[in-house]
Structure 1
Amino acid sequence: METYNDPSGGLAALIFGALMIPLLITYVIYVIGLWKVFEKAGKPGWAAIVPIYNAIVLLEIVGKPIWWLILLLVPCVNIVIAVWVINLLSKSFGQSEGFTIGILLLGFIFIPILGFGNYQYIGPAGAGFAKPFNGFNPNDPFNTPPPSQV
């Protein structure tokens, strides 16, 4: 009886493992960051691991109706809507379009930064981009002193 040894099977498993382990680690980092983002927004963190529900929670965080989930299922339209939702997520935490680009290109880095950083959830899509008052700054032309300092 002949034995048949095919070395390509072992090589394929090695390549598959070498690719899958870093991808799995990256995904876990992303989900942990998204968990923290959801908690900062007052939503359940466990929603980050439930496939369709996490999109619904994300739409709630950015202040868009749940029917937008249907738009995320339409080919080509879903790309535009996904970028829009990610931009609204950045705005909801008081960040600019630069942070949106960071999430789009390196989401596994920027989502944990958003979740674990000092960023505060200020409301759906930034709630009018209002920034909290941190005291009078005489160098800021748009910042007026409180009445007690006039």
Structure 2
Amino acid sequence: METTTYEGGSVFSAIFGTGFIIFCLAVAVFFIICLWKIFEKAGQEGWKAIIPIYNVYVLTQIIGKPWYWVILMCIPYVGIIWGIWATNLLSKSFGKTEGFTVGLILLGIVFYPILAFDRTIVYKGPAGDPTRFNNVNEDLNSIGKTA
């Protein structure tokens, strides 16, 4: 009969791994709550924040960009640039500067809750201009036309 040796490291790994998964889930739920509040501040329904891909589409409406920006997100490398640009436009939509954008990118765990829960921060319109892109389709229809 073969005897099995007990390795204490595997128990530690299992506990650490489970703790890490619980931590990651808690952070994800926290960010969903923040995005929910940001959507509500921008006049959208909060539940739209929990639907993958659709929440990116709603974000493009909030920042005043056309629907095809969602497709750009899926292209390698372009998606990174899109994300930075969209974050900057989101920041401007709430009256913040590029410095706040850097905070959203590098310290999102701090700056997204500020954007979501600070009552002094209000939605100013797409990219901070309330008259810009009142209708998202207006952007597509205005391509090639001069004012």
The two structures share one fold, judged by TM-score above 0.5: yes
2:134 corresponding residue in structure 1: none
Q: Runs (4+) of structure 1 moved beyond 4 Å?
A: none
Say which SS state the counterpart of residue 129 (structure 2) adopts: helix
| Partner of residue 35, structure 2 | 34
Deviation for aligned residue 1:115: 1.1
CA shift for structure 1 position 89: 0.1
Structure 1 unaligned blocks of 5 or more: 130-150
Taking only the aligned residue pairs, the percentage that are identical comes to: 49
Residue number in structure 1 paired with 2:74: 73
Indicate yes or no: 2:51 matched with 1:53.
no
Which segment is superposed worse, 22-31 or 72-81?
A: 22-31
Partner of 1:17: 18
Structure 1 equivalent of residue 124 of structure 2: 122
Cα deviations by residue, 1:82-101 (Å, 9 ceiling, x for unpaired): 00000000000000001101
Give unmatched runs, 5+ long, in structure 2: 132-147
Alignment check: 8 A CA contact 1:30 1:107 kept: no
Question: TM-score under structure 2 normalisation?
Answer: 0.80
TM-score, length of structure 1 as denominator length: 0.79
Tell me how far apart the structure 1 counterparts of residues 129 and 3 of structure 2 sit (CA, whole Å): 69
Could you tell me how far 1:31 is from its partner in structure 2?
A: 1.2
- Specify the structure having the higher radius of gyration (Cα): 1
Structure 1 position 2, deviation (Å): 4.8
Quote how far apart the aligned CAs of 1:105 are: 1.1
| 1:119 partner letter | I
